[in-house]
Amino acid sequence: MITTENIDIHMEEHELLTRYYSQLILNDISISDQTHLWDKHVSVVGLGGLGSPLAVYLVAAGLGKVTLLDSDCIEVKNLHRQVFYTQNDLGLKKVQCLGNHLKKINPKVEVNLIPQKSWEVKFSEFRSDLIIDCADNLKTTYELNSECVKNNLPFSTASISGYQGQVFMFNNTEESHCCYECLFEEVGDLNENDCADVGVLGPSVSMIASIQAQCVLKKLLNNPILEDGILRIDTSTMKIKKNKINTNNSCKLSP
């Protein structure tokens, strides 16, 4: 006898095979990987030119649960690079607009919206399987890095200034320490550094977002391509450098 539960499972499998067919025929993504991805929860902090396309790519690829954090409203100066927002969205909260967009991609995706800055919210309120920093200020980066080290959670941060972008991924395992502060000790002014004040082209931001999304996706699919490392991307010459980051024993977060 086929129970309702079995029918549901069958339909879910059918939908999964149909929706993700083009990525499931890749050699390194199995149905089990795809199901595993649906069970994952990721938090994206900062929903500008990096965070918004990144969240779209992760959800479209089959991430099942996402928490979005950003206190900003959409401004006309954002539209040249934050291409998932439109003229009709001006003045609206980024979390709301992006959340609506993600639900249009897949209504079954669970989306949590937090219209605040990360330091205004307890980490436990947006803790997830992997924390992604796409904010435009170092205060957020250092705070999230510290929380992820303390909680042994994978952490990815990315930024772009002019044509120069960088993407980091830290595993934060119990066995070994390697973090953002191992490379950049926290010093000086951590005020916001809006990339728009330095100058940036939309496609450059989108490239960095896509590279970060790819690194996160491959990690969630258990086939990581960047571990305790940094990618430096020059979007004007298309040169990419990949380096491993060494543990710094004098890092204040080192055990």
Q: CA–CA separation, 189 vs 83, rounded Å?
A: 30
Note whether 144 binds Zn ion by CB under 5 A. Answer: no
Of positions 33, 70, 133, 181, contacts Zn ion by CB under 5 A? 181
Provide, rounded to whole angstroms, the least separation between the CB of residue 177 and Zn ion.
6
Nearer to Zn ion, 131 or 253 (CB): 253
Strands 239-244 and 65-69, bridge-based pairing: unpaired
Collect all residues with Cβ–Cβ distance below 8 Å to 20 and sequence separation of at least 6: 34, 61, 62
Beta carbon of residue 251, minimum distance to Zn ion (angstroms, whole number)? 3
Q: How far is the CB of 121 from Zn ion (least distance, A)?
A: 23
Please choose, from the candidates 94, 19, 21, 27, the residue with its C-alpha nearest in 3D space to the C-alpha of residue 55.
94
- Determine the Cα–Cα distance for residues 130 and 127; give it in Å rounded to an integer: 8
Contacts of 161 (CB under 8 A, 6+ apart): 193, 195, 198, 200
Binding of Zn ion by 230 (CB under 5 A): no
Is residue 179 a contact point for Zn ion (CB under 5 A)?
A: yes
Q: Quick one: which segment of 63-71, 114-122, 172-180, 232-240 binds Zn ion (CB under 5 A)?
A: 172-180
Q: Do 209 and 50 touch, CB atoms closer than 8 A?
A: yes
Using CB under 5 A as the binding criterion, the count of chain residues that bind Zn ion stands at 5
Q: Is 72 exposed, middle or buried (0-12, 13-18, 19+ CB in 10 A)?
A: middle
Q: Which is nearer to Zn ion, 169 or 251 (CB)?
A: 251
The piece of 24-32, 181-189, 202-210, 219-227 that touches Zn ion (CB under 5 A) is 181-189
Query: What do you get for the CA distance between the two ends of the chain, in Å?
Result: 56
Of 35-43, 125-133, 232-240, 243-251, the segment contacting Zn ion by CB under 5 A is 243-251
Identify whether the C-beta of residue 145 lies closer than 8 Å to the C-beta of residue 183.
no
Our CB check for Zn ion shows the closer of 5 and 174 to be 174
Per-residue contact flags (x/-) with Zn ion for residues 102 to 121, judged by CB under 5 A: --------------------
The residue from 29, 167, 182, 226 that contacts Zn ion (CB under 5 A) is 182
Give the 3-state secondary structure of residue 109. coil
Catalytic residues: 195
Contact flag: residue 148 with Zn ion (CB under 5 A)? no
Query: CA gyration radius for the chain?
Result: 18
CB of 232 to Zn ion, least distance (A): 19
CA 120 to mean position of chain CA atoms: 19
Give which of 214, 149, 133 is closest to 181, Cα–Cα: 149
Q: Of the ranges 12-20, 83-91, 103-111, 178-186, which one interacts with Zn ion (CB under 5 A)? A: 178-186
Return the number of the residue (97 or 253) whose C-beta is nearest Zn ion: 253
- Which positions touch Zn ion (CB under 5 A)? 179, 181-182, 251, 253
